[in-house]
Amino acid sequence: MNDSKSAPPFVHRLDPIFRARSVAVVGASADPRKLNAIPLQILRMTGFAGSIYPVNPKYDEIDGTRCYPDVASLPEPASVALILVPAADVPGVLDQCGSKGTRAAVVCSSGFEEVTNSERLVDAVKATCMRHRIALVGPNCEGVWSVRSNVLLTFGSAARRETLVHAPIAMLSQSGSMAGAVARQLQDSGFGCAYIVSVGNETVTTLLDHLDYVIAQDDVRVVLLFLEGLNDGERLVRVAARARARGIVIVALKAGSSKAGRAAVASHTGKLTTSHAIYRDVFRQAGIIQVESLVELIEAAEAFSSVSLPRANLGSDAGAAVFSIPGGTRALTADLCEARNVPLARFGTATTAALQDALPAFGVPGNPTDVTGQVLSQPDLFERALRIIGRDPATTSLIVQLANRGPHDALRYQRVIAETANENALPTVISFLGDSLSGVQRRDFAGHGILCARDPADAVRYLSWLYRAANLRPPAVVDVSAATRTPDAAPLAAGWPGAMQLLDEAGIAVPRWEILAETGIGTSAARNLRFPVALKVLPEYADHKTDAGLLRLNLATASCVDQAARQLREAVGDAKAPLVVQEMVAAGVEVVLSTIADPDFGTVVAIGSGGVLVEVLHDIGYLAAPITEGDVEELLGRLMLSRLLDGFRGAPRADRRALARAALGLARAFAARRHELDEIEINPLIVLPDGHGVIAVDALVRRKPVPVGETGKPHSQVVARA
């Protein structure tokens, strides 16, 4: 991580795009059938109030508007240039814009990073923008929307509309078609949006620059992200923390969840690490709600922009109340809530008694509540029971499950549902049995703080997002400099001593050890180490020593060490092979603790169940540095490892805090040497009983490949491995 990445260099320069007072449309066409004619039409159709300057030497005017031969001829510097010329002409146009005084541009033209042999053209775009301090969106993008300002700089068909609905939703996308699809759906449904950004190739400004910008705006409550990958993922965690501090929810759909690992296959961690797993866990660390489809992305936007979050930290009895007319959905909804971690409210005795009094004898006054079909013959039953449930102190959200007349009953009971939701500050979902209201009706219900779901599964899914956002920890203040500065450390030694040096820098204890380079070593070990001991070959002979039979444990005497040394040296075919002898460690919970250099997120910490079962259980999670003890504890709570640390089957509780401190220390040590390291893996790290700390039994250190020319060929150097 470096300081240049920690500051958002373009955020303060994006206003000319989103608050433009004038637009130069460079490459505009008078032929309405051509793509480069559409942006001019959209600006007029959507009511842009500023000056529009078409630029094209072929025309004197376009549809009654004067057209200029070049940017230099404009009567004033435009706030932003929308550029639609062939790729080869883009650097020259940008240079004209910069010389004229225009400091922002949106380039829709293709033919840059997405094609081969375009490096010189891309470099020219970057250099021109840097020279003139131009904030550039694109190239190869579908453009931007700023709805409140009626600034729509795009050729996308979704923007061809005379009426725009402004709502506190921003969409930032690395795909132009996905940005357009979301914009169309939000506008067509009447939910609306505030900002749409198709970032294109991110040649100058990035998706994270735009995220930094939109979370600072007063008309944004929800930000949607469509991601394929990030070049500066470390920054995402920091920007997301600022969003959470402002009460803004970020929802992400990530494409490209391949199984390709990002770390070396020589390590256990590398075999388990995938881009998908890292993004999944870092999203959780950052408080970003991850969804799995375009439909879910749009639904999450509607949910977070329409209803409040459930009240949090009200105790174990608090949760969702399920108010059901059909009795058959009660068990189904309860199962769905458990599967999606949506807590169910436990009603107080007063609520239960009031429901018993109100419901027919065959109704169920618990939660989920069975109101029964008697609501059809007793018109006041629905309202009486719903208000009783809504007032219970444990009710923090509400599912109203309707029956086969769902749409009819939703409209019939809309007033009482809305009053119950608003009077008790309850996010509320009406659930149908496969039915649906029209888009206009759904938007009307949302305006009253009520979501509509086609079935119980959708209803519970919506609530799961809301509860996840409500239960996010406040963003921690992290000293980034402490996690990234390079200490005045001695050069990293080669081999086993280098691995031990790194662990010392991380503040992680290791058993006493010696490298034994001579025969007759048992006597030396007896003098300096406490028996029993372990004996193993050094990493240049084998990576996975247990699998290769190159590890001996619980050697109780010097003669046992001598005998084992002869066997190991014979196995590797070197009578003078150096060996490591270590004191044995007391029993504890075996953990794998790693740091890897991830191309998207920089220093990534991996924690999971360790020892010989690491590749069997696949019980591992990830955090992007810098991290806090709270991040580690939250991650542990999602792993099977947590049960072992808490003391499984009578075992003592393990030192969880020492494990968290070890993770922080390893992350700092790795970040300080990121210029030379690819990975550090400790497996196993023994977590001792509470209060006794942790101890690293073995470590793998992988250095970055040595550049060609220094050794003749690139390679990765393994420093130490059991």
Q: Give pLDDT tens digits for 262-290.
A: 333 334 334 444 688 899 999 999 999 99
Please check whether residue 193 lies inside any domain of the structure: no
Spatial CB neighbours of 648, under 8 Å, sequence gap ≥ 6: none
Please check whether residue 175 lies inside any domain of the structure: no
DSSP state at residue 611:
G
**Is the separation of the CB atoms in 170 and 214 below 8 Å?**
yes
Rounded-to-integer distance, Cα 348 and Cα 354, Å: 10
Mean pLDDT (whole number) for 427-456: 94
Residues 672 and 566 reside in one and the same domain: no
The answer to which of 310-319, 395-404, 482-491, 630-639 has the lowest mean pLDDT is 482-491
Look up the domain containing 562 and give its range. 512-583
Taking all residues of the chain, what is their mean pLDDT, rounded to a whole number?
88
Please check whether residue 447 lies inside any domain of the structure: yes
pLDDT of residue 267: 42
Please check whether residue 237 lies inside any domain of the structure: no
| Residue where the block lists tokens 């007032």 | 391
Domain boundary among 131, 158, 185: 158
How confident is the model over 567-599, as pLDDT tens digits?
A: 988 888 888 888 889 999 888 999 999 999 998
How confident is the model over 609-662, as pLDDT tens digits?
A: 987 666 677 899 999 998 999 999 999 999 999 999 998 887 899 999 999 999
Whether residue 198 has pLDDT greater than 90: yes
Q: Cβ–Cβ contacts within 10 Å for residue 157, how many? A: 12
pLDDT of residue 327: 87
Please check whether residue 197 lies inside any domain of the structure: no
Residues 619 and 635 reside in one and the same domain: yes
pLDDT band at 489 (very low <50, low <70, confident <90, very high): low
How confident is the model over 349-407, as pLDDT tens digits?
A: 999 999 999 999 888 999 999 998 888 788 799 999 999 999 999 999 999 999 998 99
Q: Which amino acid is at 578?
A: P
Please check whether residue 477 lies inside any domain of the structure: no
User: Beta strands 249-254 and 319-324: pairing type?
Assistant: unpaired
Whether residue 720 has pLDDT greater than 60: no
Please check whether residue 253 lies inside any domain of the structure: no
Residues 142 and 44 reside in one and the same domain: yes
How confident is the model over 234-261, as pLDDT tens digits?
A: 899 999 999 999 999 999 999 876 544 3
Residues 542 and 664 reside in one and the same domain: no
Query: Smallest Cα–Cα separation from 719: which of 702, 694, 704?
Result: 702
Residues 547 and 667 reside in one and the same domain: no
Please check whether residue 714 lies inside any domain of the structure: no
Cα within 13 Å of Cα(16), Cβ side: 22
Q: What percent of the chain has pLDDT over 90?
A: 69
Residues 61 and 115 reside in one and the same domain: yes
Find the CATH number of the domain harbouring 432. Answer: 3.40.50.261
Residues 659 and 640 reside in one and the same domain: yes
pLDDT of residue 517: 73
Residues 386 and 420 reside in one and the same domain: yes
Domain boundary among 450, 470, 490: 470
Find the CATH number of the domain harbouring 519. Answer: 3.30.1490.20
Residues 612 and 696 reside in one and the same domain: yes
CA distances from 536 to 228, 342, 553, 696 (A): 44, 49, 9, 15
Rounded-to-integer distance, Cα 269 and Cα 609, Å: 11
Residues 557 and 595 reside in one and the same domain: no
Spatial CB neighbours of 579, under 8 Å, sequence gap ≥ 6: 515, 516, 517, 521, 535, 536, 537, 538, 565, 568, 569
pLDDT of residue 703: 87
Rounded-to-integer distance, Cα 344 and Cα 316, Å: 9
Residues 387 and 522 reside in one and the same domain: no
Domain boundary among 557, 583, 609: 583
pLDDT of residue 574: 84
**Is the separation of the CB atoms in 121 and 87 below 8 Å?**
yes
pLDDT of residue 547: 57
Find the CATH number of the domain harbouring 602. Answer: 3.30.470.20
How many distinct structural domains can be found in the chain?
4
SS3 541: coil
Residues 11 and 140 reside in one and the same domain: yes
**Is the separation of the CB atoms in 272 and 622 below 8 Å?**
no
Mean pLDDT (whole number) for 203-217: 96
Find the CATH number of the domain harbouring 72. Answer: 3.40.50.720
User: How is residue 431 written in tokens?
Assistant: 């659930």
pLDDT band at 524 (very low <50, low <70, confident <90, very high): low
